[in-house]
């Protein structure tokens, strides 16, 4: 009798799935231990990593940054394969670009003396929420005193009984700032700012930073972002950088070791049958029988049996699966898994790329910069002072910047409801909405990044084309990345990582369904390196089970 090799099927050819496949293959290829297969529902590898081009520049439709280079496995791979240098222009090649101009609706450039204290307050509050100690980076006494003062405000806000979300904590910190004795000048009218007073400007600047934070976390509303869990999230030290040759180069490197045919594209799984308890009879597969405990059904009607399946689909897909009457899993997932999937947050973040028109480029080709890096401070949506023609979806984006200095491609980030709205808009509606916004903010006076009242009517911005991502409605993802929502905790992330069946029941084959992906990592969720670590974890779990790896 021929003994069959264990068959391991990995669902999803993103960072987690290909990391697991890479590890399993490199550790056991010489022993020819497993049948290994990666099935991908889409037509490409990479998952939420998707390097592309727009306007002649390399861009990232999905994952963009290596979040800290100190100890990052992604950075190590990028170094090893020489992906950090390129002759072709790429997104964020200048890091954080030039110092942005902070400008208020109506065309008012806000002085650093107003912007900087609120920015420092916001950053200090976030440092406190994330468990960072009082920064000693401020070299002068005044900044050190301010940091200490803001940390005291943060400590006071965190002790309030209403502090359940990051959003409520931030607002309590801002209220504390306003009521701390310096509020006497908050309502004063400022010269040169129209109907804006100091408190309205500070409110708008603070909101701008909140909107940026929403894109960092993918929480459409930071009032849904759990405060207690925020300090569990871990960042690598060092700078945050992009990958010159594209994030896809990391994916291609991981996949390059796999034998031809290991990765199968266009193989969308519609149903996963597993055995919570061992059936008395083997599964019937067409004309024969399947002795393996898991059976996968594909959209084309074909099936595949496996001993172990590593599921790396997004949390968004899992959320849809537990509410789908057809049932992606049969029998349905156990309640502990369903509760974790339900409680955790999974949001939408989309990027909007816009190419400046060729006439605009020619007009400004002699200038030092085609377009300035803008931070935008809006009136509140219900304010009578707001520009009525600025669309609502623009009011919750925080910035509009070239993707690198002097690039003709501009980038803006969107999260939550406006990110979803962006996916349904026509290109002409987007161009019109952005142009209307810029007409209010630039107010015909911001020329080549400088305020110049003598050059009115010369600053007209036109776009050739736009490109927006669609992570929210893409059925293979249904969102961007996970966060710990109010009502959930890091324990839910751990529950996500639990293999099935959970109990080592004598009646059921072990490790039938394993779970990997960024939403299964307690301290590095929402990141590519979190997905990488999770893929390693599940590969190692199987290698330990088959005694290929020391525990």
* pLDDT tens per residue across span 35-44: 999 999 999 9
How does residue 358 score in pLDDT terms, banded at 50, 70 and 90?
Answer: confident
How does residue 376 score in pLDDT terms, banded at 50, 70 and 90?
Answer: very high
- Residue 337's closest CA among 466, 202, 193, 500? 500
Q: Which of 121-125, 161-165, 194-198 has the highest mean pLDDT?
A: 121-125
d(CA 197, CA 473): 40
How does residue 211 score in pLDDT terms, banded at 50, 70 and 90?
Answer: very high
d(CA 50, CA 13): 12
pLDDT tens profile 186-201: 555 577 888 899 999 9
- Tell me what pLDDT residue 98 has: 64
The answer to whether residue 50 scores a pLDDT higher than 60 is yes
- Residue 531's closest CA among 549, 515, 550? 515
- b/e 448-471 (16+ beta carbons within 10 angstroms → b): bbeeeeeeeeebebebeebbbbeb
How does residue 82 score in pLDDT terms, banded at 50, 70 and 90?
Answer: very high
- b/e 175-191 (16+ beta carbons within 10 angstroms → b): ebbeeeeeeeebeeebe
- Tell me what pLDDT residue 497 has: 98
d(CA 290, CA 283): 5
276 cis-preceded (ω within 30 degrees of 0): no
Of 8-17, 24-33, 95-104, 382-391, which gets the smallest average pLDDT? 95-104
Locate tokens 């490197």: which residue? 253
The answer to whether residue 287 scores a pLDDT higher than 70 is no
- In the numeric block, which tokens belong to residue 433? 């909405």
The answer to whether residue 325 scores a pLDDT higher than 80 is no
- Tell me what pLDDT residue 454 has: 43
Question: What is the rounded average pLDDT of the residues 312-335?
Answer: 92
- Tell me what pLDDT residue 231 has: 93
Question: What is the rounded average pLDDT of the residues 133-160?
Answer: 75
How does residue 362 score in pLDDT terms, banded at 50, 70 and 90?
Answer: low
How does residue 277 score in pLDDT terms, banded at 50, 70 and 90?
Answer: confident
DSSP 505-539: -TTS-S-SEEE-SGGG-TTTTTSHHHHHHHHHHHH
**Three-state secondary structure string covering 322-364:** HCCCCCCEECCCCHHHHHHHHHCEEECEEEEEEEECHHHHHHC
Cα–Cα distance list, 323 to 133, 204, 532 (Å): 42, 39, 28
- Tell me what pLDDT residue 447 has: 42
How does residue 21 score in pLDDT terms, banded at 50, 70 and 90?
Answer: very high
- Tell me what pLDDT residue 136 has: 45
pTM: 0.93
- Tell me what pLDDT residue 194 has: 86
Of 205-209, 248-252, 505-509, 543-547, which gets the smallest average pLDDT? 505-509
- Tell me what pLDDT residue 151 has: 87
- Tell me what pLDDT residue 146 has: 83
Higher-confidence position of 362 and 268: 268
- Tell me what pLDDT residue 195 has: 86
- Tell me what pLDDT residue 365 has: 57
Percentage of the chain modeled with pLDDT above 90:
73
Neighbours of 161 (CB within 10 A): 5
DSSP class of 54: E
How does residue 508 score in pLDDT terms, banded at 50, 70 and 90?
Answer: confident
The answer to whether residue 137 scores a pLDDT higher than 70 is no
How does residue 97 score in pLDDT terms, banded at 50, 70 and 90?
Answer: low
The answer to whether residue 59 scores a pLDDT higher than 90 is yes
* Number of Cα atoms under 13 Å in the Cβ half of residue 91: 28
Locate tokens 């040759």: which residue? 245
Instruction: Give the chain's mean pLDDT.
Output: 89
The answer to whether residue 23 scores a pLDDT higher than 60 is yes
Q: Which domains does the chain have, with CATH numbers?
A: 7-61+251-346+482-546 (3.50.50.60), 101-236+349-468 (3.90.660.10)
- Tell me what pLDDT residue 449 has: 42
- Tell me what pLDDT residue 378 has: 97
């Amino acid at each position: 009798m021929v003994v069959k090799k264990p068959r391991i099927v990995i669902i999803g050819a993103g960072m987690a799935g290909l990391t697991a496949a890479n590890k399993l293959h490199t550790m056991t290829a010489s022993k020819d231990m497993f049948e290994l297969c990666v099935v991908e529902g889409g037509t490409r590898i990479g998952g939420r990593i998707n390097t592309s081009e727009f306007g002649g520049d390399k861009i990232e439709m999905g994952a963009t940054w290596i979040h800290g280079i100190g100890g990052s496995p992604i950075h190590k791979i990028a170094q090893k394969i020489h992906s950090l240098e390129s002759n072709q222009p790429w997104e964020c090649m200048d890091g954080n670009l030039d110092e942005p101009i902070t400008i208020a609706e109506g065309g008012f450039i806000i002085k650093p003396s107003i912007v900087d204290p609120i920015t420092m307050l916001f950053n200090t509050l976030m440092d406190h929420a994330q468990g960072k100690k009082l920064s000693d980076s401020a070299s002068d006494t005044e900044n050190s005193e301010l940091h200490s003062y803001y940390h005291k405000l943060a400590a006071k806000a965190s002790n309030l009984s209403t502090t359940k979300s990051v959003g409520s904590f931030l607002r309590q910190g801002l209220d504390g700032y306003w009521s701390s004795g310096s509020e006497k000048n908050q309502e004063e009218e400022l010269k040169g700012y129209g109907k804006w007073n100091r408190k309205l400007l500070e409110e708008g600047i603070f909101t701008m930073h909140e909107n940026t934070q929403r894109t960092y976390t993918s929480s459409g509303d930071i009032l849904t972002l759990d405060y207690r869990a925020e300090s569990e999230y871990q960042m690598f030290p060092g700078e945050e950088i992009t990958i010159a040759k594209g994030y896809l180069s990391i994916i291609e490197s991981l996949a390059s070791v796999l034998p031809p045919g290991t990765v199968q594209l266009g193989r969308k799984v519609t149903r996963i049958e597993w055995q919570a308890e061992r059936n008395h009879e083997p599964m019937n597969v067409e004309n024969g029988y399947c002795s393996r405990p898991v059976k996968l059904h594909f959209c084309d009607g074909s099936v595949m049996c496996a001993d172990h399946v590593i599921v790396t689909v997004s949390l968004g897909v899992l959320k849809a699966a537990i509410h789908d009457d057809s049932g992606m899993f049969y029998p349905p997932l156990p309640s502990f898994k369903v509760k974790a999937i339900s409680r955790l947050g999974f949001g939408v973040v989309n990027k909007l790329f816009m190419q400046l028109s060729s006439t605009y480029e020619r007009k400004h080709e002699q200038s030092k910069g085609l377009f300035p890096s803008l931070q935008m401070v809006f009136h509140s949506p219900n304010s009578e002072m707001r520009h009525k023609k600025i669309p609502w979806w623009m009011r919750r984006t925080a910035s509009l910047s070239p993707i690198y200095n002097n690039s003709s491609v501009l980038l803006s980030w969107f999260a939550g409801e406006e990110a979803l709205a962006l996916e349904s808009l026509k290109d002409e509606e987007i161009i019109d909405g952005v142009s209307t916004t810029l007409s209010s903010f630039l107010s015909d006076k911001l020329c080549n990044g400088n305020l110049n009242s003598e050059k009115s009517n010369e600053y007209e911005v036109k776009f050739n084309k736009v490109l927006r991502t669609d992570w929210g409605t893409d059925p293979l993802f249904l969102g961007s990345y996970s966060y710990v929502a109010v009502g959930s905790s890091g324990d839910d992330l751990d529950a996500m990582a639990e293999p099935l069946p959970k109990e080592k029941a004598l009646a059921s084959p072990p490790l039938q369904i394993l779970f990997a992906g960024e939403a299964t990592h307690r301290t590095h969720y929402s990141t590519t390196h979190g997905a990488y670590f999770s893929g390693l974890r599940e590969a190692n779990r199987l290698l330990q089970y088959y005694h290929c790896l020391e525990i």
